[in-house]
Each structure stands twice: as C-alpha cells, then as structure tokens.
Amino acid sequence: MLEAGLKVAIIDAGQILQSTTSFTTAKVSSQHGLIYNSLLSHFGKEAARLYYEANEDAIRFISDTIQKHNIECHFQREDSYLYADSEQQLEQLRQEWEAYRQLDLPGEWIDELPLQVESKGAIVLRNQAHFHPLQYLSALTNYIVEKGGRFYEHTTLEDYAKEQDDDNIILKTAEGHKVACQYAVSASHFPFFDGGGLYFTRLHAERSYVIAIKPQKAYPGGMYINCGEPKRSIRPAMFNESEVLLVGVNLIGQGRMIARSNGMRSWRNSPGIPSG
C-alpha cells in the first residue's frame, strides 16, 4: 500500500511480530490438511480452485519480496506431504485426492513417504516453501518505517467502524481515540470486528507443541503433516547454521502439558525420525 502512494498505519493490541506470528510453523504452502474436498463440497469448483490459486500467488509474492529486498530469512523451496497413518485417515485422504483431480491441482499420489514414518499413502504438492517469519517481517518492518509507515503497539480497537459522508471510515480505540481512514484492513488472527458474522460462535483456540532436534542421519527433505488427529508435523529449519528438525504434535484435549510433552517425545523417537 505504501508503494501505491497510500499513508499507512498498522495498529496492534499487543506488540508486532509476537504471538502467532512468532510461533508459526512457517510453512508457506497451498496444502492445508484436508481442505480441498471440503471447499469443493461447500463452495463449488470455482471457489476451491481460487483458494489454491490465491495461496500460490502468496508463495510467489513472498518469494519475489525476498528477492526484491534481499532479505535473508532461510527461504527454501520444499515438497509438502499430506499423509494418512491409519485406515480411517486413508479413506479421507482418498477423498481429498479425488478433489485434487477434479480441481486439476498439481499434486501427486504416492504410496510411501521419503521419511520412514508410518503411512498408508500420501499426497505430495511440489515446490512449496518454508522460511524464518521473524527475519522476513523484521526486514519489511524496517522498510515500512523508512517509507513513512507508522506502527502503533498496545492499541486496541473496538468492534466499531462507521462510514462517513466523505467516504472515510472512523475506527475507535479502547481508550476513546478515533482513527479516520479511507481503507481499513482487519488482519488479526481472530476477527475483532464481527460485522454481524457471529464469528465468535464458530472460532476456538488451539495450541500445539514443538521441539527442535538435531538429526544424526541424513534428512530426505520435505515438509510432512498427517491428515488425522492428533496432528503431527515435521519440517527442516536452520539454527546456528546447522539443520534441525521441527517436530510438532497437536494433543489438545489430553489435559496436562506433561501428557502432551510425552506424546510428542514418543512420536519424535519413532524409528523413521532421524533424531539424535
């Protein structure tokens, strides 16, 4: 927006580059679990295909932005694998694969993963990516400030937006201050402005846990996630110029954190994960 000649202000209730942004798995992918069969069923072929194309555009945008601003953020192209580790998951994955075929998505069905974890089959989407989000966004933050953009942290906006006769929009902070603007973009993780959508009735919070391990064996490459519950994820990353594996497990609902930790360590120690 700055490059389009607009005056830009970014308002955050907390601090920028914190919370979800700093703890994301940082996969840059058009493959988000069992998504395309659901999109196809609920919204039709055109919308489901548009979802894929929008995500591919986002990957290209990030890649182009990194090259344009010469950002060092460990951006790396990687194949993404969605796999089934049970017979029930396999049936769901086959339905997802049928959606790929109907939408003409460039996925591939494979019977075995390069990584030796238990799987019944997988869909691989080539040429996806991962990166270091804080390094990427820190560079963009500096660029925004240099170009005249402003950041307002610890500033909470209320569920209020009123259009004026001059086409400006008035926003209101929790402290009672008003912000006048031509355009307002809500980019929060959960929408704070409901707009009559009753989003709060459909949203819920989840928390996953991740550990970094240093592989002793050669890692075959790729980003992996299963299509069932609990969610299990693995991808490579760089730490102190050495490759590590980020192993994550979503064990929501099992109560104590120690149970989640033990479940994660148990999967980490499975024969196919080349950890030390």
For 75-94, how does the pLDDT look when each residue is reduced to its tens digit (9 = 90+)? 999 999 999 999 999 999 99
d(CA 269, CA 276): 9
User: Is 67 part of a structural domain of the chain?
Assistant: yes
Domain membership of residue 192 (yes or no) is: no
Residue predicted with more confidence, 35 or 240: 35
The average pLDDT across 245-254 equals: 72
Listed in sequence order, the residues at least 6 apart from 241 whose beta carbon sits closer than 8 Å to its beta carbon are none
In a domain, residue 5? The reply is no
Count of domains forming the chain: 1
- CA distance to 9, 11, 79, 146, 192, per residue, from 189 (Å): 18, 14, 26, 26, 9
> Do residues 227 and 82 touch, judged by C-beta distance below 8 A?
yes
The answer to whether residue 180 is domain-embedded is no
Q: Is residue 182 part of a domain?
A: no
203 occurs within a structural domain:
no
Looking only at Cα atoms, what is the longest distance across the chain? 66
Question: Residue 207 — pLDDT band, cuts 50, 70, 90?
Answer: confident
- Report whether 183 contacts 6 (CB < 8 A): yes
Q: What is the mean pLDDT of residues 150-162?
A: 89
pLDDT tops 50 at residue 255: no
Q: How many residues does the chain have?
A: 276
The owner of tokens 């075959």 is 220
Asked if pLDDT for residue 230 goes beyond 90, the answer is no
What is the residue range of 76's domain?
Answer: 27-131+209-268
d(CA 232, CA 234): 7
Query: Is there a domain that residue 155 lies in?
Result: no
- pLDDT at position 191, please? 76
Helix axes 36-43, 87-103, angle to 10 degrees: 60
pLDDT at 251: 58
- Report the Cα–Cα distance between both ends of the chain, in Å, rounded: 46
Question: Quick check: 111 pLDDT over 70?
Answer: yes
Neighbours of 165 (CB within 10 A): 5
Give the sheet arrangement for strand 157-163, strand by strand.
Answer: 157-163, 169-173, 178-181
pLDDT at 256: 47
Tens digits of per-residue pLDDT, 6-57?
999 999 999 999 877 777 778 999 999 999 999 999 999 999 999 999 999 9
Report yes or no on 72 lying in a domain: yes
